[in-house]
Structure 1
Amino acid sequence: MVYTDIPLTDNILDTVAAEWGHRGAGERLHGGEESAAYRIGEVVVRIGSLGRDPAEIEWCNTVAATAARSVPEAIAPLPRADGSTVTVVAGHPITVWPLARGQWVDSEDPIQSAEAARLLARLHRALATYRPPPRPVRSFLEIGLDGTPSAHLPDPDLDRWLAEFTRTTRHQPLHGDYYAGNLLCHNGHVTTVLDWDEALIGPPELELASAALEFTDEVRGDLTRARTFVAAYHAESGTAGELDDLTISQLMRHRLRREAAYFDIAVARGVEHDEDDHEYHRRRLAAFHHFRP
């Protein structure tokens, strides 16, 4: 896995001390494809990618803060004196969050999978009535959701299906990148949901299917575990409607196609992936074809 290399500079440390009142040396935390996270005492400083619109991150942070009001596993960004949650240092957006301890969720563990599904249901319920302004920039998952043809893994049938599905479904705020790497567990139980940078307004069914993909057997195209994840979500009264196998498969394939586009864009930017990254990419491409209805 390629993680970004963004240093915690003295200017950033000085800004965090001045704006949030936290001082100390930084310890790099594991993970981060586009942003880097450093622990300073009992908070985490996240440094976003160069040039990313701070208004976009502020928008995402309001979604996180709204969820955190009623879902204890969701943590809210810490505000500055003026109430905002983002500042910019040398072109990098800076945010500060409470420290959450734990390790990444094991997507193969049935207990953690069920807990992740139930947590997603509670997040969707918490956000169902929230009406933020339009997102300043389209998110990763939004592109192509309206049926606009994609140059990556072209599939006119999928495009037409997405256009009709999106037109006829209810939309609400979503986490946007709900998978094991953005969930923490402690003593075998899911405790925290992180990283709201891809939050969006969309059909909750989209996020449910995307999340189910991360807890299923993608290689064999077997929907058994995906159905189990969806059933646990509905048992917790999530806001997404019932999903048949066609809907699960097509929404998963939309996610997989967007991942393929992201991979190619990263390559074009000069990102050098290791063999594990390439193997993961090949597996996800195969899944796109395996799940074809």
Structure 2
Amino acid sequence: MGGRESKPISLSYEEAVKRVSEGELSRLKDAYKRTATLNGAITKQAFIREVLGEGVPQQLAELIFVACGGTAKGITFKDLLCSLVLLTRGIREEKIRFIFGVYANEAGTHVTKSDMLRQLQTTEGGYAPEILHKCFGQNERVTYEEFKDWLINYPDATTVTRWLLAEPCHASLCNDLETPTFYQTLAGVTHLEEKDILELEKRYWYLKGSSPTGKLDPDTLVPLISPPLPPLLAKGVFSAFDENRDNHIDFKEMACGISAACRGPLTERQKFCFKIFDRDRDGKLSKEELTAMVQALLLLSYEEQEDK
């Protein structure tokens, strides 16, 4: 496949739809909407986490993402459905053709030994399976029929073939992506509606994806606060969100923090403000913390008057 962003999926969207029930299709569409970013696609991180699962090696997961039609912008619903149906309900011939497409040249007519070895450098940690010589022999390339005959005899030849031809399949049409319990739970313990939480999650994953560290850390969050806050105050705001103090904000912390700061009753908002200045989390403001609070509030008041 080289560096191309094309997909070797041998299953059409129309055929994929025929292999799922109306209920399954509806649940998948709802799940996709909940997980998709603002541009209407599922990111590579979400695809690997929600569709493939944590048990799939990262290099293999990235290869499968591209093979399923994923690009830098993400993966569309049609490509996702075709991929899931092929992986979970495809016949062996369809899966073998998919694997052939993973390793094949741009035109999809043959697999060259050099291209396949290059792919194996990624998925096999630089190790070339000895059984590979059974596929190519003295030749530099093989056709689909030759590749298929080899794979039928040696389905465990590579990590890719072992994963895709495993029974039962590692992927599933019914996974955690379809279960809205998490969103309903958050809606029940916050002052946000379920639709607010779904929209907030899209923005959360977008921000995480935009972060150089892949996390919602101070360097990512603080510049988003408007109007800009003094450094000391900005650090306190981040700390108020970061409940477990691991220096990054997970989605639950983000939802609960926004709920308390923006949607909660006056008492809850006051508690959130208190947490901004309670640096050591002891439930009290020390003399130093109180001094820092007064200085920060005076600075904000001064800047507000300057703006006027």
**TM-score normalised to the size of structure 2?**
0.28
Q: Which one has the bigger strand percentage?
A: 1
State the structure with more CA Rg.
2
